[in-house]
Amino acid sequence: MDEIGSSALFLAILILLLGSGLWIGLSLLGVGIIAMALFTTRPLGDAMATTIWSHTSLWGLSAVPLFIWMGEILFRSKLSETLFSGLSPLMRRLPGGLLHVNVVGCSTFAAISGSSAATLMTVGKMTLPELRKHGYPDSLSAGTLAGAGTLGLLIPPSITMIIYGVTVQESIGRLFMAGVVPGIMLTLLFMGYIGAWGLISAEGRRLREQRSTLQEKMAGLVKLTPIVALIVCVIGSIYTGFASPTEAATLGVIGALVLSALQGSLTLEALRSSLMGTVKTTSMIMLLLAGSAFLTLAMGFTGLPKALAVWIGGMDLSAWMLIAVLTGFYILLGCFLDGISMIVLTMAVIEPLVRDAGIDMIWFGVFVVLVGEMALITPPIGFNLFLVESMIGRGIGFVSAATLPMFVMMLVGVALLTMFPDLALWLPTAMTSR
């Protein structure tokens, strides 16, 4: 069987397994088993055990459950109430008003959770009722929340960044640093769109909020102080070299427990729920990694990665043409897979192409996480779309249409990142040259 026939066969099997409702990790394992059976006589059990263990026992992955647990603890605390009441006086006079709280709230919570779902659910459960109470249209409320909820993948600490760093064996600390400026850029793009709506549309001008008093602004800053302190402890410890990502995650868990205890929300039930949520999310991620690792091994025996690399190499694409092709490829893939699944499924083939093209792997990590964010709001299976649908009570079609402007802002972000690579590379270069 030639490479084209093999790729068609394996793609058909993968689509069949995914379409049957089987978990993505198990689907990847299934395709790997079939490939191993067809192309090698190596003992299947030994190969599976060795490969899965070597790829899931890496020390860098130990930060994953810790960051997830930190987000789960804060998700069940009163932090979201504090976040909204602290940000509202600072944001409400801006054009677009309280819609900015969706974006700034998500970007702030993303900096202490690392999880897109936890970010969206925590911020959304407080902002959506308040936005409806103040008369903001559901389309703007849903769209900005779904779009800003993706910031949990890019703004460090990012679980997706950890997975990428382990997969391509790049520094997780440098990847975290590289995500800061693009994360701020994307936040400003979202806020810029909201501000333009507030200035241009009649409805936006009508909903202009009253100016906050100095006392209200100072009270808001006081409420935000514990959140900012936790961000500084977690992110600052990594950037200054005081702690590794795993150690910083441990500090984050301790800080989250302390904050929850001080707020009176650290009950036994909340602690049990946070641990169960951590186990479920971590297990899902590890199963994805296990399936991807075994499928990568099996694909090596088929010769597909090498054949694909030779084929794309023969097209003589420039580095930026390759990025343009990969952008379209990942947007298409995002219609059917989430960001982490896209990375673990494709990186074995994509990594050598990117390295051969001379593209910096730290920059490419930010790029691939950014396009992975887009997968969260891409129909038909964009995860954030379903989360917002469940919270706002409107159909998936309505939420998808409402989120389209945020998707366009992300495309603008990809273009800016490609035109100005130093957006991602400046901070890690500056910090490591000190």
Q: What is the pLDDT of residues 369-404, one digit of tens each?
A: 998 888 888 876 677 887 788 778 888 789 889 999
Higher pLDDT, 289 or 369: 369
* Distance in angstroms (rounded) separating the CA atoms of residues 135 and 290: 47
* Distance in angstroms (rounded) separating the CA atoms of residues 392 and 387: 9
Q: What single-letter amino acid sits at 192?
A: G
Higher pLDDT, 263 or 398: 398
* Distance in angstroms (rounded) separating the CA atoms of residues 399 and 388: 7
C-alpha dihedral (371, 372, 373, 375), degrees to nearest 10: 100
Contact (CB, 8 A) for 378 and 407:
yes
Query: At 7, is the pLDDT very low, low, confident or very high (cuts 50, 70, 90)?
Result: low
* pLDDT above 70 as % of the chain: 91
Range with the poorest average pLDDT among 100-104, 121-125, 155-159, 362-366: 121-125
Instruction: Please measure the distance between the N-terminal and C-terminal CA atoms of the chain and give it in whole angstroms.
Output: 54
Q: What single-letter amino acid sits at 342?
A: M
Contact (CB, 8 A) for 118 and 75:
yes
Is the predicted pLDDT of residue 287 greater than 80, yes or no? yes
Mean pLDDT over 141-158 rounds to 87
Q: Looking at residue 433, what is its pLDDT?
A: 62
Q: What single-letter amino acid sits at 284?
A: M
**Considering only CA atoms, which of 350, 365, 275 is closest in space to residue 308?**
350
Out of 17-26, 176-185, 236-245, 391-400, the most confident range is 176-185
pTM beyond 0.75: the answer is: yes
217-237: buried (b, 16+ CB within 10 Å) or exposed (e) per residue?
eeebeebbebbeebbebbbeb
* pLDDT above 90 as % of the chain: 17
Is the predicted pLDDT of residue 6 greater than 70, yes or no? no
* Distance in angstroms (rounded) separating the CA atoms of residues 71 and 85: 20
* Distance in angstroms (rounded) separating the CA atoms of residues 417 and 80: 31
Quick count: other Cβ atoms within 10 Å of Cβ 310?
11
* Distance in angstroms (rounded) separating the CA atoms of residues 295 and 346: 10
* Distance in angstroms (rounded) separating the CA atoms of residues 427 and 424: 7
Mean pLDDT over 219-235 rounds to 83
Higher pLDDT, 363 or 337: 363
User: Six-digit token pair at 282?
Assistant: 């971590």
Q: Looking at residue 156, what is its pLDDT?
A: 82
Write out pLDDT tens, residues 42-96: 788 888 888 888 777 777 678 778 887 887 887 777 776 777 778 888 887 888 8
**Considering only CA atoms, which of 234, 247, 265 is closest in space to residue 108?**
234
